[in-house]
Each structure stands twice: as structure tokens, then as C-alpha cells.
Structure 1
Amino acid sequence: MEVVFEGLIDGEKVPERYTCDGPGISPEIDWRGAPKGTQSFAVVMDDPDAPRGLFTHWLVWGIPAKSTRLPANLARQRELPNGIKQGVNSGGAYGYYPCCPPPGKAHHYTFSFLALDIEPDLPAGVNRERFDKALKGHVLEEVSVTGLYERF
């Protein structure tokens, strides 16, 4: 599966537009070549370097299997008009939480795109624990990009 997270290059700096130092929008994601049996797609973004441990920045699921693009700047709400659902991030809000590490060492932000063999039976607004439990054993393929971001 080929996945492009707009402006993100593995191992390089996260563009400011996806951070709290910019407008803090979610990136556009384009893909093709989903594996056979794909029923839906999901997106996870997290920061393992957060002071209190893993910080989940974004949970998205219910992306239809026939889709090839997730637009940038998704609304920060539980459910989107096209049936896509978003979970609660570690900041306690729905949708995308921009990269915003405390001053100091660069943090690693991992953006993962998942092809699933199910349409997860999850209500919008669930937390990471419920999300992970529902997807366990159902990921056909995962493509990830890790970007770095630091603040002074």
C-alpha cells in the first residue's frame, strides 16, 4: 500500500502547519493499493516522548474502503458527515491534537495509516484503549511516518 501524508517525510521535521506554532491542522492523507480484503481504514497519531508517556494525538476510523484520500484540516468533532468517526485524544478533545511538545528535546510523532479487514463497531468518541482493543488482529497493513518536532 502506498500512503502519502502531505508534507511529512520520515525522520524529518513536522511542518509547522500541523503544530501548535502554526494553524494546527490535520494533514491530508492520500493512498492507493489497499490489500485484498480491506473493509475500512483508520489513522492513529501519537507521541511516545510525551512527559507522561504515550500521548495519542489523533484517532480516526470508519474511512470507507473505496476512499483514496482524507482531506486536510478535518473538523474536530466526533462524527463527520461522511460517516468517518474520531476518538478522544490524550488532550481530552475530539479529532486532531497538533504537535506541541514542551520546550527542549525533539519529540517523535508517528502518523500511522491502517488497512482493516473490518468496519470497527465503535461509537464515535472512544478512547485509545477501546480503539486498540477493537482493532486487535484486524490490521491487514500499516504504513507509518515519524516526524520530529521541537520547541525552544
Structure 2
Amino acid sequence: MLLESPAFADGESIPIQHTCEGEDVSPALSWSHVPAGTQSLALIVDDPDAPDPKAPKRTWVHWVLYEIPPDASGLPEAATALPTGTREGLNDWGSTGYRGPCPPIGRHRYFHKLYALDAPLGDLSDPTKAELEHAMTGHILAEAQLIGTYQKQHKQ
């Protein structure tokens, strides 16, 4: 499976409009080569470098989506209308939806992880990343990853 974005290449900087210093809208994402037998897709965006990349203490979750239809091929920029059937989980702000990079210090990495699953997961009632990962156990057919980086450009 392949996960890409027209906004940034793997390992490159995420444009400011997708961060707390800009419009804070999700980047467009596209994927291909979803394996046969995929019944649903899930997407997790997180930052393992929180709060400081030199001394990370936790992984901060920015976006959780699941039950993405297997025939979907991506998400548009500023995705507010999600593919039919897609459900949202909770980010680490305690809400659903995308929240972009807003690192307190240093350049952080943002992992966009797409999972192809062999079964639908059903209604998990706004799962956290951990709850979604638990539900996905034993159902992952393939995984794709896209990493973007960001460091604040302005002091807030």
C-alpha cells in the first residue's frame, strides 16, 4: 500500500496551512494498492516527539478515522465531508476531527498511518487511538506510512 500527499513528500516539512500557525486544515491524502480482501481502512495521525523531540515523553494523537470504505482513494484538503460510512475517533484534545501540528519546542515528526483491515470494526463510540488499535488487532492486512515534520515558525 502507498500513502502520499500533494502537500508534502515523505520526510519533508508540512506546509503551515495544515498547522496551528495556519488554517489548521488537514492535508490532502491519497492512497493506492489497497490489498484484495480489504473491508475497511483506518487512519491515525500522531506525533511521537511530544513535548520535546530531544526528550519525548508521549505520543500526541492528532486525528483518528476508521470505517473508511475500501474503495475510497483518499481525502481532500480540509476534509470535513468524509467518505460515506467513515467514523471519527478522539484526538488528544478530546475531540473528533483533525488538529494539525503545534509543537511546543523543536521539529517534530507527524506519522500518518493508513491501515487496511480484513473486517469492518463497527461503531466503537468515539474511540481513542489505543481503543482503535486494540480493535484492529488481528485484522491488519497492510499498512502504509507518510511522515511529515514541523517546527513552529513564530513564537506564540
Regarding TM over 0.5, the answer is yes
How far did 1:91 drift?
1.0
2:99 matched residue in structure 1: 97
Q: Distance in 2 between matches of 1:54 and 1:32?
A: 27
Query: Which residue does 2:54 correspond to in 1?
Result: none
Residue from 60, 70, 76 that aligns with 2:75: 70
Are the equivalent residues in 2 in contact too, given 1:47–1:57 (CA < 8 A)? yes
- Give per-residue Cα distances to partners, 1:56-100, cap 9 Å, x unaligned: 111001111122122221239xxx572211111001111111100
- Runs (5+) with no aligned partner, structure 1: none
Q: TM-score, normalised by structure 2?
A: 0.87
| Superimposed CA distance per residue, residues 4-36 of structure 1 (whole angstroms, 9 cap, x where no aligned partner) | 223121211111121011111112222222111
Amino acid at match of 1:34: V
Q: How many residues are treated as equivalent by the alignment?
A: 148
Counterpart residue number, 1:137:
138
Any conservation in 2 of the 1:122–1:131 contact (CA below 8 Å)?
no
1:149 matched residue in structure 2: 150
Aligned-pair Cα RMSD in Å: 1.8
1:61 match: 66
Cα pair 1:121 1:134 within 8 Å, conserved: no
Match of 1:84 among 83, 86, 90: 86
What's the secondary structure of 1:26's corresponding residue?
A: coil
Unaligned 5+ residue runs, structure 2?
52-56
Q: Tell me, in whole angstroms, the C-alpha distance in 1 between the residues paired with 2:134 and 2:46.
A: 17
Q: Which amino acid aligns with 2:72?
A: S
Q: 1:14-25 to 2 correspondence within 5 Å?
A: 14-25=14-25
The 1-side partners of 2:97 and 2:117 are apart by 20
Are the counterparts in 2 of residues 88 and 127 from structure 1 also a CA contact under 8 Å?
yes
Q: Runs of 4+ in structure 1 displaced over 4 angstroms?
A: none
| TM-score of the superposed pair, with normalisation by structure 1 | 0.89
